[in-house]
Structure 1
């Protein structure tokens, strides 16, 4: 089963962002995960266009943007033009989610939905035939360093059971420790967004950590 490791760049050292990207490139990560927050959909701000541009200029690897913003459909082309390969949005922030998915695909990008802790499988089921990625939030959106929400496990299991039927890549975001990766990869999760629980702020180098995670799984 595929294992995709996606560093959450909200946790990187922004004073040395180009250097951080270089180190992560050498560590052989898979996808750069860029959280975008507008202070309205979630009560916080994160990652502006200049941050996304800097990462894009310094890597040939895939880059995703997770739009935790109101009216995400209005900004699909903007973030596509910045170089995003995958665009996630939260269906509860958009009145016409199917059209948002169509707009992302029209830009030649992969479309993903981010499923918040309070959003059920049934709520987004009708969108699943159209999306390429599903990202299940395992913390409440908007802030780093939160505890893992055990209550999402039954829902995550359901998404794992249905992924072959619908053809999406399943990921999780929030408090993703190495122990969680090992357990949830076996459950059927493909893509792991890595923050301070597993990757950033550690004594080991990024290359050592990523190598160890791959060996463990």
Structure 2
């Protein structure tokens, strides 16, 4: 994975047709998706249950680009090896999910994946201060984690701006997860984000049989964000 700050669209398969994961991934990549975002939830750290490492392993052959695995689970450490072995390019853990996030980030890199750090809406940006040299990506949650389709939390824009200042010239992606649309994408792109996770805003209106809307949705988000970024 080479690093650049161009806008990357990462559709969340949480919003896709669960009976057609492979075909949905291939369709959305063909329509312009840069990364594939996999939301892993345990019903404990967040109030929902989704996928495990076996699902990631099953969909990996269908993904040509980056598999971006977001672990909304606690504890995290016992599962890092399994998700790395499933083919995850990036594994993101939450700062709030355990007492030793530094160790968790070390373990992710040790397993051969890029290390991501996620911050919940109520977590201050200062949580990253002693971790910046441990991470390849910081994910700012712009909704409370656990469910798709929630409303974007405006206060997180200031967090993105502060985070971008802290990152400086380091090769760290700033990812936004939650409520991304062509309306909110330029707000976070202007603040310094470069990876935009979108679920219903990408998959809405399309299907494997009619994937063209996926491309239209991706282009609308990317165009709005890129214009704001420049």
Number of aligned residue pairs: give it.
216
User: How far does residue 104 in structure 1 lie from its aligned partner after superposition?
Assistant: 0.9
Could you tell me which residue of structure 1 aligns to residue 97 of structure 2? Answer: 93
Moved more, 164-173 or 57-66: 164-173
Could you tell me which residue of structure 1 aligns to residue 217 of structure 2? Answer: 209
User: How far does residue 92 in structure 1 lie from its aligned partner after superposition?
Assistant: 1.4
Of the three residues 69, 73, 76, the one matched with 1:72 is 76
> Secondary structure of 1:170's match?
strand
The separation in 1 between residues aligned to 2:222 and 2:160, in whole angstroms, is 22
Change (3 A) 1:147 1:127: same
Native 8 Å contact 1:67 1:90 kept in 2 = yes
User: How far does residue 166 in structure 1 lie from its aligned partner after superposition?
Assistant: 4.0
Moved more, 53-62 or 206-215: 206-215
Native 8 Å contact 1:10 1:47 kept in 2 = no
Q: Give me the CA root mean square deviation.
A: 1.6
Structure with higher helix content: 1
Native 8 Å contact 1:137 1:173 kept in 2 = yes
Moved more, 136-145 or 205-214: 205-214
Answer yes or no: is 1:81 the counterpart of 2:85: yes
Native 8 Å contact 2:36 2:63 kept in 1 = no
TM-score by length of 1: 0.93
User: How far does residue 165 in structure 1 lie from its aligned partner after superposition?
Assistant: 4.3
Could you tell me which residue of structure 2 aligns to residue 2 of structure 1? Answer: 6
> Secondary structure of 2:116's match?
strand
Post-superposition CA distance 1:86-141 (Å, at most 9, x none)? 00001111221111111111122100001001110112311122100000000001
Q: Which runs of 5+ in 2 are unaligned?
A: 207-211
Could you tell me which residue of structure 2 aligns to residue 172 of structure 1? Answer: 176
